[in-house]
A and B are shown apart, each in its own frame.
Chain A
Amino acid sequence: MSFNPNVPHMRLARFARSLGGFAVITVLTFLGLMAITFFIGRVVPIDPVLAVVGDRATNEQYEAARVAMGLDRPLIMQFFSYVADVVQGDFGRSVSTGRPVAQDLVRVFPATLEMATIGIIIGVVLGVPMGVYAAAHAGSWADQVIRVLALLGYSVPAFWLGLVGLALFYAGLGWVGGPGRIDVFFDGLVEPVTGLLLVDSLLDRNMEVFRSALHRIILPATILGFFSLAYIARMTRSFMLDQLSQEYVTTARVKGLSETRVIWVHAFGPIRVPLITVIGLSYAGLLEGSVMIETVFSWPGIGNYLTTALFNADMNAVLGATLVIGAVFILINKISDVLYRVLDARSR
């Protein structure tokens, strides 16, 4: 098929088609995600009914639960009704909280979102300049330090860093607040509007609550930020090295442009687009990383919810949280993919 890619409406048509194909792939990925959680919930446990009724149930109770759960139907039909439930936002009821899992998830998600967002801001603000600096001074000691720092981000267990951070900065130096999202003292003082405590307290003009919340979020968010910093700095460095070896950069230098201009305008310009994908990926990764951090900091977010549910063998809650984290992960991935296509002149 041949067409002139420069005719605007053709470009639009091609874009729409690629977006259509893209939507199909995204839907298939979500179906795959649901297939995995369905598989984990229904097929992997030896007896899902026993997990619900407990081993003291009579045969009648067992049989009734089995029918109520729809387990007497063929597996494929079970999967379809599972998908229908999930699409309607029905993840079942949590055994430990007694509420619908979907309600629980809506309640805990903002806490995770708030922490991950501050984390990614730290990661981008520090990671990108570090990567650019390392590439501009490749081989220098600063480059080596940044390289080791980045590799540390791949080798340090998040939960360990959280514990050591608590011991050092909370118990030792007293610079930051302890575990939890806010002092018990301030708990419930601010009307939840967005669920983001920092935003809510600002809306309420309650600076004391804001300060307390900031005091507590700063350590877990910085630790999360360190992991995204490691990844972002490493990728920025490698993108920049690619650009700096290009001929146009040499040309710019020969023309007598200042080194700052060459680096930040000529070399950095083209890598902004791939960097968006990297930042998107690491944002999604932070949602995952928050599971460990939240457990250590007793942070009432989705990760903590997931691990608490694990201990209570609350399978509906485990699978609901898995599904939501997975869906957000996939969604962020796909959005950064679309952004890449829209912004990158070559793939247009």
Chain B
Amino acid sequence: MHAWLISDSPASRLQASAGRAYRASGMLLRNPLAVAGALIIGLLIFTAIAAPWIAPESPVGQNLSNRLLPPSADHWMGTDELGRDIFSRVIYGSRITLMIVALVAVISAPLGLVIGAISGYFGGWTDRILMGLTDVFLSMPKLIMALAFVAALGPGIENAIIAIAITAWPAYARIARAETLTFRNAEFVSATRLLGASHSRIIVRHVLPLCTSSMIVRVTLDMAGIILTAAGLGFLGLGAQPPLPEWGAMISRGRVFILDQWWVATMPGLAIILVSLGFCFLGDGLRDVLDPKSAGKS
């Protein structure tokens, strides 16, 4: 199996890509921070799936006789002002966080990828206009722009996701364009064109796949920022609305109690830090493996 995977002359496409993945994961496993990051993300996904079995109590509903209890054996993270178990809410909150990052990635990465690839592939005026637009968005402060968009769209988790996606795509467009430029005039592209392939087929089948590895790195590194922005919108009351157990919104509820019942605001924050740190670690490690040129830069 090992020999088949690291073979220098793969017999099939499957063997080649399996071998590449095998080598990359081998390098990733030697990077302790990347392993830690992957474990944290794995934990997040597992928690989100298994939330009803892990959480000792329901994330909603009230139990006013138990309000604002400090952390104890019964309530690992204490309880909030409505007597809800904070640990259970943090566990369920992982579903919301995972949904936000997944949706933002699914919306903004392909959008940026397509815009960047079209821009780099066609060049000329198409390139100038698209990149001008990208640069304007890039030069705007992301959080402020997301805030303004949500202000206009109205608060809510869907609008928060849309607003974050709108601010996230330009970075991907830049990367996709830079990658596309490097092989726009490559021989395999000319050969495909000679075979009669259309522009859209060349972009979708031949250009985009080559951009994916640097995109994966970038998206992973951006995840921490996306989580922080989403939590920030939740904190300001513009993102997920109560009683949804969104971590940022939970911190916002605990703000009033911060001086006496510190756990209400502190605990959800620890979850945000852990998950963001996980994405940072994994992104750093992935970059060292997939994109060694830019290693160490942010």
Looking at the complex, which of A58-66, A94-102, A256-264, A303-311 is the stretch in contact with chain B?
Answer: A303-311
Interface string of A292-320 (1 = CB under 8 A from B): 10011000000000110011010100110
Give the distance in Å from the alpha carbon of A289 to the alpha carbon of B255 in the complex. Answer: 18
The SS class assigned to the A binding surface is helix
Cross-chain contact B152 with A159 (CB below 8 angstroms): no
Taking the complex as formed, is B298 at the interface, i.e. its CB lies under 8 A from any CB of chain A? yes
- Give the residues in chain A near B228, CB-CB below 8 Å: 155, 157-158
Give the distance in Å from the alpha carbon of A151 to the alpha carbon of B152 in the complex. Answer: 33
- Give the residues in chain A near B279, CB-CB below 8 Å: 155
- Give the residues in chain B near A152, CB-CB below 8 Å: 273, 277
Cross-chain contact B236 with A307 (CB below 8 angstroms): yes
Taking the complex as formed, is B237 at the interface, i.e. its CB lies under 8 A from any CB of chain A? yes
Q: Which chain A residues in 267-295 approach chain B with CB under 8 Å?
A: 284-285, 287-289, 291-292, 295
Cross-chain contact B151 with A310 (CB below 8 angstroms): yes
Give the distance in Å from the alpha carbon of A154 to the alpha carbon of B276 in the complex. Answer: 8
Cross-chain contact B152 with A315 (CB below 8 angstroms): yes
Cross-chain contact B235 with A292 (CB below 8 angstroms): yes
Cross-chain contact A315 with B151 (CB below 8 angstroms): yes
- Counting chain A CB atoms within 10 Å of each CB, which of B224, B228, B248, B272 scores highest? B228
Distance of A23 from chain B, by nearest CB (Å)? 15
Q: Which chain B residues in 256-298 approach chain A with CB under 8 Å?
A: 258-259, 262, 265-266, 269, 272-273, 276-277, 279-281, 284, 296-298
Q: Which chain A residues in 124-171 approach chain B with CB under 8 Å?
A: 147, 151-152, 154-160, 163-164, 166-167, 171
Distance of A225 from chain B, by nearest CB (Å)? 18
- Give the residues in chain A near B232, CB-CB below 8 Å: 157-159, 292
Cross-chain contact B277 with A155 (CB below 8 angstroms): yes
Distance of A275 from chain B, by nearest CB (Å)? 13
Name the residue of chain B whose CB is nearest to the CB of A231.
B298
Cross-chain contact B259 with A171 (CB below 8 angstroms): yes
Of A44, A158, A167, the contact of B153 (CB 8 Å cutoff): A44
Name the residue of chain B whose CB is nearest to the CB of A311.
B237
Number of residues from B at the complex interface, CB < 8 A: 49
- Give the residues in chain A near B151, CB-CB below 8 Å: 40, 310, 313, 315, 318
Give the distance in Å from the alpha carbon of A319 to the alpha carbon of B296 in the complex. Answer: 37
Given contacts A163-B255, A329-B141, contact A157 B231 (CB under 8 A): yes
The SS class assigned to the B binding surface is helix
Distance of A147 from chain B, by nearest CB (Å)? 8
Of A155, A167, A313, the contact of B258 (CB 8 Å cutoff): A167
Cross-chain contact A44 with B149 (CB below 8 angstroms): yes
Number of residues from A at the complex interface, CB < 8 A: 55
Cross-chain contact B139 with A330 (CB below 8 angstroms): yes
Taking the complex as formed, is A237 at the interface, i.e. its CB lies under 8 A from any CB of chain B? yes
- Give the residues in chain A near B145, CB-CB below 8 Å: 36, 322, 326
- Give the residues in chain A near B149, CB-CB below 8 Å: 40, 44
Cross-chain contact B152 with A44 (CB below 8 angstroms): yes
Cross-chain contact B152 with A157 (CB below 8 angstroms): no
Distance of A76 from chain B, by nearest CB (Å)? 17
Name the residue of chain A whose CB is nearest to the CB of B252.
A159
Taking the complex as formed, is B135 at the interface, i.e. its CB lies under 8 A from any CB of chain A? yes
- Give the residues in chain A near B266, CB-CB below 8 Å: 160, 163-164, 167
Q: Which chain B residues in 206-265 approach chain A with CB under 8 Å?
A: 224-225, 228, 231-232, 235-238, 248, 251, 254-255, 258-259, 262, 265
Cross-chain contact A29 with B251 (CB below 8 angstroms): no
- Give the residues in chain B near A235, CB-CB below 8 Å: 297-298
Give the distance in Å from the alpha carbon of A321 to the alpha carbon of B203 in the complex. Answer: 40
Interface string of A13-32 (1 = CB under 8 A from B): 00000000000000011001
- Residue pairs across A and B with Cβ atoms less than 8 A apart, 18 shown, are A29-B139, A33-B140, A36-B145, A40-B149, A45-B152, A151-B277, A152-B273, A155-B273, A155-B276, A157-B235, A157-B251, A160-B273, A166-B259, A292-B143, A307-B147, A322-B144, A329-B140, A329-B144
9 A-B pairs with the lowest CB-CB distances in the bound complex, closest first: A32-B136, A155-B276, A160-B269, A44-B152, A238-B296, A288-B141, A171-B259, A155-B277, A322-B148
